[in-house]
Amino acid sequence: MAIPVIDMKNIDGADRDAIMAKIAKGCETPGFFQLINHGIDHGLLDRVKVVCAEQYKINREQQFKDSLPVRALNKAIAAEAEGNEVDKIQNMDWEDVFQVHEMCDTNSWPTEPKDFRETIEEFRSQIFALTEKLLEIISLNLGLEKGYVKEAFAGGDKPFFGTKVSHYPPCPRPDLIKGIRPHTDAGGLILLYQDDEVPGLQVLDNGRWIDVQPLRYSIVVNTGDQLEAVSNGKYKSAWHRILPTKNGNRLSVASFYNPSYKAVVSAAPELINLNIADDLSSYPKYLFADYMRVYSEQKYEEKEPRFQAMRKPTEQISY
Ligand SMILES: [Fe+2]
């Protein structure tokens, strides 16, 4: 079982309708798909892989070796060697992560590798353009104006566009810890450039975990909680997780196009059933900053209570 692979070649030509239909289907189920011929330069993708691997070696590896998850796992392995029964580690992830958008905002780029900044900035700009192109397709697929989702996320300002670079180093005991625990993503649309050799990412599809198969030069796309809200539940954000592996240092570069913190998110009026008075089956209206406050505390829990928490009387909503 694998997630759909969609060829974007001719998206602006004769195959447009067929490709849009595949994207609509991928957004509905399983909420994950991968794109090929997406227009992002393959040479650039190769360079991203190289600078991220160098950055990990130079600036991150030692820190990871000293990190809490590594210490917790080593402790569990030692306890087991002494004959004790050990529990799985539940509250940590076997992951090294750094946020590139914070480097942009604070101009705190690493000095080595020297072409890191230039490569990542070019990558982010191409990913941003591809994301906006997809959001236009998604808006049209939902029967909305082409710019609807982009404008909804901008909230009169501009969207939040972040990039997170993660490594999942070789793990001696993948049975005792997760790479990332199961969760859905908080934001809008997520574009992931993942390792083309080391597997690990899985998505929940009809109650079964299926692999997001490594595929060279592909870009993985998934929908987050905010697209679920805007689409009034048509595009449900999918649960996913990463399993660590014994061999290989898995790379994952995830870029997320989210609403501005000031944006007020709600289901698109065209997608609400107006025949039902005060339709409680529709998604609530809330400030994205409020959602993120709840998400940061409940990321690994069921998502419905997060939306429920946003269902407050109008006078209590902080916008
Ligand atoms: Fe995620």
For ligand 1, the distance from its centroid to the CA atom of residue 273, given in whole angstroms, is 30
For ligand 1, the distance from its centroid to the CA atom of residue 97, given in whole angstroms, is 12
For ligand 1, the distance from its centroid to the CA atom of residue 242, given in whole angstroms, is 9
pLDDT number for residue 103: 86
For ligand 1, the distance from its centroid to the CA atom of residue 241, given in whole angstroms, is 7
For ligand 1, the distance from its centroid to the CA atom of residue 183, given in whole angstroms, is 6
Closest by Cα among 21, 34, 23, 14 to 218: 34
For ligand 1, the distance from its centroid to the CA atom of residue 201, given in whole angstroms, is 10
Cα(29)–Cα(215) distance, integer angstroms: 20
At residue 255, the 3 state secondary structure works out as strand
* Mean pLDDT per 10-residue section of the chain, whose length is 319 residues: 94 96 97 98 98 95 96 96 94 94 86 93 97 98 98 96 97 95 97 96 96 97 98 97 95 98 95 67 92 95 94 55
Query: Which two tokens mark 127?
Result: 């990913």
pLDDT number for residue 319: 45
How many CB atoms neighbour CB 102 within 10 A?
12
Q: Is the peptide bond before 113 cis (omega within 30 degrees of 0)?
A: yes
The residues near 1 (Cβ < 8 Å, ≥ 6 apart) are 205, 208, 210, 211
Query: Which two tokens mark 232?
Result: 């009034």
Measured between alpha carbons, how far is residue 168 from residues 65, 213, 261 in Å?
12, 16, 29
Spell 42-62 as b/e; 16+ CB within 10 A means b. Answer: eeebebbbebbebbbeeebee
For ligand 1, the distance from its centroid to the CA atom of residue 185, given in whole angstroms, is 5
For ligand 1, the distance from its centroid to the CA atom of residue 14, given in whole angstroms, is 34
CA angle (41, 42, 43) in 5-degree steps:
90
Query: Which two tokens mark 61?
Result: 């590896």
Q: Is the peptide bond before 172 cis (omega within 30 degrees of 0)?
A: no
For ligand 1, the distance from its centroid to the CA atom of residue 224, given in whole angstroms, is 9
For ligand 1, the distance from its centroid to the CA atom of residue 2, given in whole angstroms, is 18
Q: What is the DSSP string of 276-311?
A: STT-TTSPP-EEHHHHHHHHHHHTTS-SHHHHHHT-
pLDDT number for residue 142: 98
Total-model pTM: 0.93
For ligand 1, the distance from its centroid to the CA atom of residue 107, given in whole angstroms, is 26
How many CB atoms neighbour CB 197 within 10 A?
10
For ligand 1, the distance from its centroid to the CA atom of residue 237, given in whole angstroms, is 10
For ligand 1, the distance from its centroid to the CA atom of residue 256, given in whole angstroms, is 10
pLDDT number for residue 101: 87
CA angle (163, 166, 168) in 5-degree steps:
165
Cα(199)–Cα(34) distance, integer angstroms: 14
pLDDT number for residue 314: 46
SS (HEC) of 73-134: HHHHHHHHHCCCCCCCCCCCECCEEEEHHHHHHHCCCCCCCCCHHHHHHHHHHHHHHHHHHH
Q: Which amino acid is at 12?
A: D
pLDDT number for residue 279: 57
For residues 257 and 187, the answer to whether their CB atoms sit within 8 Å is yes
For ligand 1, the distance from its centroid to the CA atom of residue 240, given in whole angstroms, is 6
Radius of gyration of the chain (CA): 20
pLDDT number for residue 274: 67
